Amino acid sequence: MVGVRLDAAAYRPVLQPMSIALELGQVVGVIGPNGAGKSTLLRLMAGLIAPTSGQVLVAELPIASQSPRWRAQHIAYLPQLIGDDIPFTVREFVEMGRYSRESAWAQGASRREAVMAAVAQMGLERLLDVPLAQISGGERQRAGIARCLAQASPVFLLDEPIANLDVFYQLDILSRLRGLAADGRLIVLAIHHLEFAMRFCDACIVLDHGAVVAFGPRDEVFQTELVQRVFHIGVRRFADPFTGDPRLSVMGCLPVKDGEEREES
Amino acid sequence: MRRRRRLAFASLVLALCVAVALEIGIGPVYIPFWHIPADTIAYASGHRSLDAIVVGAIRWPRLLVALLVGAALAVAGCVLQAIFKNPMSDPGVIGVSSGGALGAVLTIAFGWSSRWLWVTPAGSFICGLAVVVLIYRLATFGRRTNLYALLLAGVAVGSLCSAIITAILDMSPLQTMEQMMFWLFGGLDGSNWRETCILTIVDGIVLPVFMALAWALDIMVTGEEHAEGVGVAVQRVKQIALGLCALIVGVSVSTTGVISFVGLIVPHVLRYLVGPRHRHLIPACALGGATLLALSDLVARTVVAPVELNVGIVTSCLGAPFFLFLLFQHGRNWQRR
A246 within some domain: no
A112 within some domain: yes
Give the DSSP per-residue string, A55-120: EEEETTEEGGGS-HHHHHHHEEEE-S---TT--SBHHHHHHGGGGGTS-TT---HHHHHHHHHHHH
* End-to-end Cα spacing for chain A: 34
**CATH number of the domain to which B16 belongs:** 1.10.3470.10
Q: How many Å lie between the alpha carbon of A12 and the closest alpha carbon of chain B?
A: 15
**Interface ipTM:** 0.91
265 residues of chain A, pLDDT tens digit each: 889 999 999 998 999 999 999 999 999 999 999 989 999 999 999 999 999 999 999 989 999 889 999 999 999 999 998 988 899 999 999 999 999 998 877 777 888 899 999 999 999 999 999 999 899 999 999 999 999 999 999 999 999 999 989 999 999 999 999 999 999 999 999 999 999 999 999 999 999 999 999 999 988 888 889 999 999 999 999 988 998 888 889 888 888 765 555 554 4
Number of domains in chain A: 1
Domain that holds residue B48: 2-333
The answer to whether B5 contacts chain A (CB < 8 Å) is no
Which alpha helices (DSSP H) does B85-223 contain, by range? Answer: 96-109, 119-139, 147-171, 174-185, 193-212, 214-221
pLDDT of residue B154: 87
Number of domains in chain B: 1
pLDDT of residue B36: 87
Q: How many Å lie between the alpha carbon of B145 and the closest alpha carbon of chain A?
A: 14
All residues of chain B having their beta carbon less than 8 Å from the beta carbon of residue A78 are 226, 229
- Report CA Rg, chain A: 19
Q: Measuring CA to CA, how many Å separate B53 from each of B56, B62, B200?
A: 5, 13, 22
Considering CB atoms only, which of A76, A83, A100 is closest to B223? A83
**CATH number of the domain to which A211 belongs:** 3.40.50.300
Interatomic CA distance for residues A74 and B232, integer angstroms: 14
> Count of H helices and E strands in chain A?
9, 12
Residues 6+ apart with CB under 8 A from A226: A206, A213, A214
The residue in chain A having the minimum alpha-carbon distance to the alpha carbon of residue B87 is: A85
Domain that holds residue A53: 2-219
A147 within some domain: yes
Interatomic CA distance for residues A216 and B331, integer angstroms: 52
Extract the residue ranges of chain B whose pLDDT is less than 70.
330-337
pLDDT of residue B46: 84
Interatomic CA distance for residues A93 and B231, integer angstroms: 14
Nearest Cα neighbor of A30 from A215, A233, A181 is A215
The answer to whether B229 contacts chain A (CB < 8 Å) is yes
Taking the CA of residue B153 as centre, how many other CA atoms within 13 Å lie in the half-sphere pointing to its CB?
18
Interatomic CA distance for residues B62 and A206, integer angstroms: 68
Nearest Cα neighbor of B67 from B207, B182, B234 is B207
pLDDT of residue A47: 92
Interatomic CA distance for residues A51 and B290, integer angstroms: 48
Q: Measuring CA to CA, how many Å separate B189 from each of A74, A220, B248, B299?
A: 56, 79, 20, 13
Interatomic CA distance for residues B240 and B245, integer angstroms: 8
Burial classification of residue B189, based on how many CB atoms lie within 10 Å of its CB (0-12 exposed, 13-18 middle, 19 or more buried): middle
pLDDT of residue B336: 45
